[in-house]
């Protein structure tokens, strides 16, 4: 039984996932992929889509069977007991100090396209964006869904116009790679993985959906497919432009060349809005994760305070930690790509927990897909390099200090696929 008043339908669910997958990366990461692997980056995109679809199917099946704001940690509790629930929940919460500042930095990439901001001005702008996200979250998840629907429709329209005006050749759409490209393909995939992280956020919002058994599977699979197609299109657009040396702002250069000066401002606007929408979805999900744990007595009870359906205290904590981390990273201790890789290690481990839980909780085809997803997680983890070591260290540390509870929940259940 839902502990929230459901407010979001299928369209809202699809939009919130699509914005979390596309928002902070759509105009940036495809370019970085081309820089790393050239035409072979298209192979990386195809591999990532193949990597994510089994996990999307598993998330859909688990979300349909066990809709709960705890998401992955709730499934872990059903499958393995409270200790892994605690570890997986804190793994996700641990994304806040590294992943959200990375998303804010990506937002500033687009602000700087239109306005050249120095260090202090950029920091003020990041905190202002965080304040705006806070305001939209306080308005409720339904308001977020409506705003994000408008943003993603406009953004996809702009991408379509940009691709049409380039134009994209058949050659730019065909993935080409040789054995010597394998290292570059793996390296690009390790960075690109950031683009597909966000499935767990839909699970955390499950209790906000009017029909989670229908909406979660359709939104997760549809969102991954849509995001993969858009990323592939953006990478093909960069390749079709024929740069001798691909600049980091390649899509900005293409927009200026094909659409004139207005193209620069349009790309800056839609890039900013897409990042804003993605950040909003993440903060929605993280705050509900904290609220769910507190509501069940697994975190301090004061975190369970809600007003008008909004987990206000948990939201305040998420925003506060993100603001503090932004101030710390402003000192330049880590760059954007390093922040992304650190966040990726958290997400891949969380997805691994979800796949392991699915192996226990699902039967038949669902269990087979879960095994495929677990294998994909293992392969994806290997592409992270040094960040994988960080992820293992965090997981081991959390496991060491976790409450010593290995007993499975008494209400463990399995569901037919």
Residue found under tokens 């569901």: 415
Cα–Cα distance measured from residue 180 to residue 182, given in angstroms and rounded to the nearest whole number:
6
State phi, psi for 203 to the nearest 5 degrees: -60, -40
Q: In the prediction, which pLDDT does 79 show?
A: 92
Contact in structure between 354 and 72 (CB atoms under 8 Å): yes
235: which residues sit within 8 A by CB, 6+ positions away? 30, 33, 34, 41, 42, 45
Angle at 135 between CA 133 and CA 141, to 5 degrees: 80
Which one is predicted more confidently, 341 or 32?
32
Nearest Cα residue to 113 out of 256, 257, 279, 252:
252
Q: How confident is the model at residue 406 (pLDDT cuts 50, 70, 90)?
A: very low
pTM above 0.85, yes or no: no
Q: In the prediction, which pLDDT does 24 show?
A: 66
What is the SS3 assignment for 68?
A: coil
Contact in structure between 348 and 69 (CB atoms under 8 Å): no
The tokens for 71 are 């998401």
What is the SS3 assignment for 310?
A: strand
Q: Give the tens place of pLDDT for each residue, 181-235.
A: 888 888 888 778 778 877 777 766 767 777 877 877 888 888 888 889 999 999 9
Q: Give the tens place of pLDDT for each residue, 289-305.
A: 888 888 877 778 898 88
Of the listed ranges 15-19, 227-231, 331-335, 387-391, the one predicted with least confidence: 331-335
Nearest Cα residue to 235 out of 321, 166, 151, 311:
166
The tokens for 80 are 């393995």
Residue 194, burial from CB neighbour count under 10 angstroms (0-12, 13-18, 19+): buried
Which one is predicted more confidently, 208 or 14?
14
CA distances from residue 31 to 224, 232, 239, 300, 384 in whole angstroms, order as listed: 19, 11, 9, 43, 19
| CATH homologous superfamily, domain 10-401 | Amino acid/polyamine transporter I (1.20.1740.10)
The tokens for 305 are 């305070």
Three-class secondary structure assignment of 245-261? CCCCCHHHHHHHHHHCH
Q: How confident is the model at residue 413 (pLDDT cuts 50, 70, 90)?
A: very low
Contact in structure between 357 and 79 (CB atoms under 8 Å): yes
Cα–Cα distance measured from residue 366 to residue 43, given in angstroms and rounded to the nearest whole number:
27
Cα–Cα distance measured from residue 296 to residue 291, given in angstroms and rounded to the nearest whole number:
9
Contact in structure between 22 and 225 (CB atoms under 8 Å): no
Contact in structure between 347 and 200 (CB atoms under 8 Å): yes
Q: Give the tens place of pLDDT for each residue, 372-391.
A: 888 888 887 887 777 888 88
The tokens for 10 are 């299928």
Residue 325 has pLDDT above 70, yes or no: yes
Q: In the prediction, which pLDDT does 181 show?
A: 82
DSSP for 20-50?
HHHTTTTTTHHHHHHHHHGGGHHHHHHHHHH
Residue 275 has pLDDT above 70, yes or no: yes
Q: What is the mean pLDDT of residues 39-68?
A: 85
Q: What is the mean pLDDT of residues 331-346?
A: 74
307 forms beta bridges with 310
Q: In the prediction, which pLDDT does 89 show?
A: 85
Q: What is the mean pLDDT of residues 264-271?
A: 90
Q: In the prediction, which pLDDT does 4 show?
A: 58
Residue 282 has pLDDT above 80, yes or no: yes
CA distances from residue 160 to 154, 167, 233, 240, 383 in whole angstroms, order as listed: 10, 10, 9, 14, 31
Q: In the prediction, which pLDDT does 231 show?
A: 93
Q: What is the mean pLDDT of residues 258-287?
A: 89
Cα–Cα distance measured from residue 79 to residue 407, given in angstroms and rounded to the nearest whole number:
10
Q: Give the tens place of pLDDT for each residue, 52-62.
A: 888 788 888 88
Q: Give the tens place of pLDDT for each residue, 102-121.
A: 788 878 888 888 887 887 89
Cα–Cα distance measured from residue 340 to residue 328, given in angstroms and rounded to the nearest whole number:
16
Rounded to 10°, the helix 336-361/386-401 angle is: 50
* Average predicted confidence (pLDDT) for the chain: 83
Q: How confident is the model at residue 339 (pLDDT cuts 50, 70, 90)?
A: confident
Cα–Cα distance measured from residue 80 to residue 406, given in angstroms and rounded to the nearest whole number:
7
Q: How confident is the model at residue 5 (pLDDT cuts 50, 70, 90)?
A: low
Element holding 281 (H helix, E strand): helix 261-295
Q: How confident is the model at residue 407 (pLDDT cuts 50, 70, 90)?
A: very low
- Dihedral sign, CA of 64, 66, 70, 75? negative
Nearest Cα residue to 175 out of 221, 226, 228:
228
């Amino acid at each position: 039984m839902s502990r929230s008043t459901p407010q979001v339908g299928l369209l809202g669910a699809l939009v919130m996932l699509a914005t979390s997958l596309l928002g902070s990366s759509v105009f940036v990461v495809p370019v970085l992929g081309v820089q790393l692997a050239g035409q072979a980056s298209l192979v990386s995109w195809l591999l990532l889509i193949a990597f994510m679809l089994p996990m999307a199917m598993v998330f859909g099946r688990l979300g349909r069977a066990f809709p709960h704001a705890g998401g992955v940690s709730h499934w872990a509790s059903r499958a393995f007991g409270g200790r892994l629930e605690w570890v997986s929940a804190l793994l996700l919460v641990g994304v806040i100090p590294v992943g959200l500042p990375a998303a804010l930095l990506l937002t500033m990439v687009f602000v700087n396209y239109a306005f050249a901001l120095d260090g202090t001005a950029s920091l003020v702008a990041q905190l202002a964006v965080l304040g705006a996200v806070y305001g939209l979250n306080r308005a409720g998840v339904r308001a977020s869904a409506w705003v994000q629907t408008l943003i993603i429709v406009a953004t996809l329209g702009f991408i379509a116009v940009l691709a049409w005006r380039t134009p994209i050749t058949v050659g730019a759409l065909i993935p080409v790679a040789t054995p010597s490209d394998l290292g570059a393909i793996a390296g690009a995939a390790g960075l690109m993985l950031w683009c597909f992280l966000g499935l767990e956020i839909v699970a955390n919002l499950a209790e906000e959906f009017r029909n989670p058994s229908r909406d979660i599977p359709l939104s997760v699979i549809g969102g991954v497919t849509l995001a993969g197609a858009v990323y592939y299109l953006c990478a093909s657009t960069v390749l079709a432009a024929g740069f001798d040396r691909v600049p980091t702002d390649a899509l900005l250069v293409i927009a200026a060349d094909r659409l004139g000066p207005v193209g620069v401002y349009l790309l800056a606007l839609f890039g900013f809005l897409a990042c804003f929408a993605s950040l909003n979805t993440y903060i929605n999900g993280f705050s509900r994760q904290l609220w769910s744990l507190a509501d069940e007595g697994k975190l301090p009870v004061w975190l369970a305070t809600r007003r008008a359906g909004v987990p206000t205290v948990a939201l305040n904590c998420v925003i506060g930690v993100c603001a503090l981390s932004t101030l710390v990273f402003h000192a330049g201790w880590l760059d954007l790509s390093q922040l992304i890789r650190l966040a990726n290690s958290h997400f891949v481990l969380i997805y691994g927990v979800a796949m392991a839980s699915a192996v226990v909780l699902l039967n038949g085809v669902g269990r087979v897909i879960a095994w495929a997803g677990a294998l994909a997680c293992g392969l994806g983890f290997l592409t992270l390099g040094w960040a994988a070591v960080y992820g293992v260290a965090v997981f081991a540390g959390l496991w060491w200090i976790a409450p010593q509870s290995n007993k499975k929940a008494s209400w463990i259940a399995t569901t037919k696929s």
